[in-house]
Structure 1
Amino acid sequence: MTPDPLPRLRALCLALPEVTERISHGEPTWFVRKVFVTYADHHHDDRVAFWCAAAPGEAEAMVAAHPDRFFRPPYVGGRGWLGVWLDVPVDWDEIAEIVADAYRQIAPRRLIDRMPV
């Protein structure tokens, strides 16, 4: 059985400047003024993932290259958001990069400048 990915995802998100967590649409969601990452287990269909903001064209490229690891999430996929499966083997260094990139899409410049290196 794969360990629950929520604590690791939460730690990555909350390590970024001025991030807050609250429940939105029944799931843990991380904000830096606006949503940049949301956990996705609400369909309870035995799939666990997160959805996040992505740079223009990035989500499409990642889904095309690795459809077993990435997907276009419902509702926000049309706005360029990326879905990342967490119920498959994941590289947590890569997940950290994806979360940081999502943060950069939403956070104001003054907070981006304070991000850990």
Structure 2
Amino acid sequence: MPHPPMFDEDDPVLGRLREITLQLPDAAEKVSFGMPAFFTTKVFTYYGGLEKVGDGHVRHLTSMLVVADPVDRPALVEDPRCYHPMYLGPAGWIGFHLTGDPDWSEVAELVEASYRLTAGARRVKRLDAHSP
């Protein structure tokens, strides 16, 4: 049984995240477990996530999950805008809240770092060829 959609197609935060993710070489979008997922051959960003709290969980609908660059991960873990997502956290993923007025250039940097860690050398080379 497929998961029901857990997002609003007209969500402006999701729209801005789409602009950032879908400009990357060969990036596409699919719905995974009811949430938007951006991928090439592997997912590099999810919109929305879960955090384990006590015996339950908290759903963070206006957030993203990205694979954190190992160099940046310690600082992100300490950042109050971040959380340790259920299931993917142990594999190096980090949750990042997009509520309020997020710094979209920082969001783009986190998305690009996640893309670089998952997209493969050929796509990263294409990304670098088009970067200023």
**For the superposition of Structure 1 and Structure 2, which TM-score range results when normalised by the shorter chain?**
0.7 to 0.9
RMSD, aligned α-carbons: 2.1
Q: State the match for 1:16 in structure 2.
A: 24
CA shift in 2, pair 1:45/1:71, >3 Å: closer
* Pair member with larger Rg: 2
Q: CA deviation at 1:60?
A: 3.4
The size of the alignment, in residue pairs, is: 113
* Mapped contact 1:47–1:87 kept (Cα < 8 A): no
State, as a whole percentage, how many aligned pairs show the same letter: 36
Q: Which residue, 114, 123, 126 being the options, matches 1:111? A: 123
Q: CA deviation at 1:72?
A: 1.2
Matched residues in 2 for 1:28 and 1:105: separation? 19
Matched, 1:61 2:75: yes
Q: Under a length normalisation based on structure 1, what TM-score does the superposition of the two structures give?
A: 0.85
Gaps of 5+ in 2: 1-10, 51-56
Matched, 1:25 2:33: yes
Q: CA deviation at 1:46?
A: 6.8
Q: Under a length normalisation based on structure 2, what TM-score does the superposition of the two structures give?
A: 0.76
CA shift in 2, pair 1:53/1:46, >3 Å: closer
* SS of equivalent to 2:12: coil
Identify the structure with the greater strand proportion: 2
Q: Please identify, of 100-109 and 79-88, the stretch whose mean Cα deviation from structure 2 is larger.
A: 79-88
CA shift in 2, pair 1:80/1:40, >3 Å: same
> Could you give the per-residue CA deviations for residues 26-67 of structure 1, whole angstroms, max 9, x where no partner exists?
011001101110010688857510101122253332121x22
Amino acid at match of 1:91: D
* Mapped contact 2:82–2:94 kept (Cα < 8 A): yes
Matched residues in 2 for 1:21 and 1:63: separation? 27
Gaps of 5+ in 1: none
